[in-house]
A and B are shown apart, each in its own frame.
Chain A
Amino acid sequence: MSNTPLEILFERVSKSFSRPGGGPAFEAVRDLSFSVGRGELVAILGKTGCGKSTTFNLISGLIRPSAGRVAVQGHDPYADFAWFRGKIGIVFQNDRLMPWRTAIENVALGLELNKVPPAQRLEIAASWLARLGLSGHANDYPHALSGGMRQRVSVARAFAGKPDILLCDEPFSALDEHTGNALRQEFRNLLQETGATSIFITHSIDEALWFSARLMVFERPARIAYETTLAPETSEADRAAVRDRIRKVLSGEG
Chain B
Amino acid sequence: MALADGEGAPAAGRFFAFTRFRYESVVALAGLAVVWQIASLFVPHFLFPSVPEIATRLVEIFTSWNSLLDMLATSGRILAGLGGAFVFGTLLAIPMARSPSLARYAYPLLNFNQGIPALSWVVIAIIWFRGIEFRIFFIMVMTTLPAFTFQVLDAYRAMSKDLFEMTLSFRPTRFDLLRTLIWPTVLPGMLTAWKVNLGNASRVVVVAELVGATGGVGYELLQQQQVFDMAGAIAWTLVLVIFVLVVQGVITLIETRALRYRAIAEHAL
A146 to B5, alpha carbons, bound, how many Å?
10
* 1/0 contact string of A81-98 vs chain B (CB within 8 Å): 110111010101010101
* 1/0 contact string of B142-168 vs chain A (CB within 8 Å): 000000000000000000001101111
CB nearest to A144 among chain B residues = B4
Establish whether residues A85 and B181, one from each chain, have CB atoms under 8 Å apart when the complex forms: no
When distances are taken between beta carbons in the complex, the residues of chain A under 8 Å from B2 are 144-146, 149
When distances are taken between beta carbons in the complex, the residues of chain B under 8 Å from A94 are 162
Interface size on B, residues (CB 8 A): 25
Establish whether residues B166 and A92, one from each chain, have CB atoms under 8 Å apart when the complex forms: yes
Known: A96-B162, A98-B181, A99-B262. A145 touches B171 (CB 8 A): no
Which of A86, A94, A109 gathers the greatest number of chain B CB atoms within 10 Å? A109
Establish whether residues A99 and B162, one from each chain, have CB atoms under 8 Å apart when the complex forms: no
A143 to B2, alpha carbons, bound, how many Å?
10
When distances are taken between beta carbons in the complex, the residues of chain B under 8 Å from A149 are 2
Establish whether residues A81 and B171, one from each chain, have CB atoms under 8 Å apart when the complex forms: yes
Establish whether residues A90 and B1, one from each chain, have CB atoms under 8 Å apart when the complex forms: no
When distances are taken between beta carbons in the complex, the residues of chain B under 8 Å from A62 are 165, 168-169
* 1/0 contact string of A101-113 vs chain B (CB within 8 Å): 1100000011011
Known: A92-B162, A140-B1, A144-B1. A109 touches B170 (CB 8 A): yes
- B contact set with A: CB distance below 8 Å: 1-5, 7, 162-163, 165-173, 176, 180-181, 184, 259, 261-263
Interface size on A, residues (CB 8 A): 34
Known: A99-B262, A109-B180, A143-B262. A114 touches B170 (CB 8 A): yes
Which of A86, A98, A110 gathers the greatest number of chain B CB atoms within 10 Å? A98
CB nearest to B185 among chain A residues = A100
Dominant SS at the B interface?
loop
Chain A nearest CB, measured from B181 CB (Å): 7
CB nearest to B4 among chain A residues = A144
A87 to B262, alpha carbons, bound, how many Å?
32
When distances are taken between beta carbons in the complex, the residues of chain A under 8 Å from B262 are 99, 143
When distances are taken between beta carbons in the complex, the residues of chain A under 8 Å from B162 are 92, 94, 96
When distances are taken between beta carbons in the complex, the residues of chain A under 8 Å from B259 are 100
When distances are taken between beta carbons in the complex, the residues of chain B under 8 Å from A92 are 162, 166
Chain B nearest CB, measured from A157 CB (Å): 9
What 10 A-B pairs have minimum CB-CB distances, sorted nearest first?
Answer: A85-B171, A143-B263, A146-B3, A96-B166, A141-B261, A144-B4, A146-B2, A113-B170, A100-B184, A110-B170
| Interface assignment of A55: CB less than 8 Å from any CB of chain B | no
| Interface assignment of A203: CB less than 8 Å from any CB of chain B | no
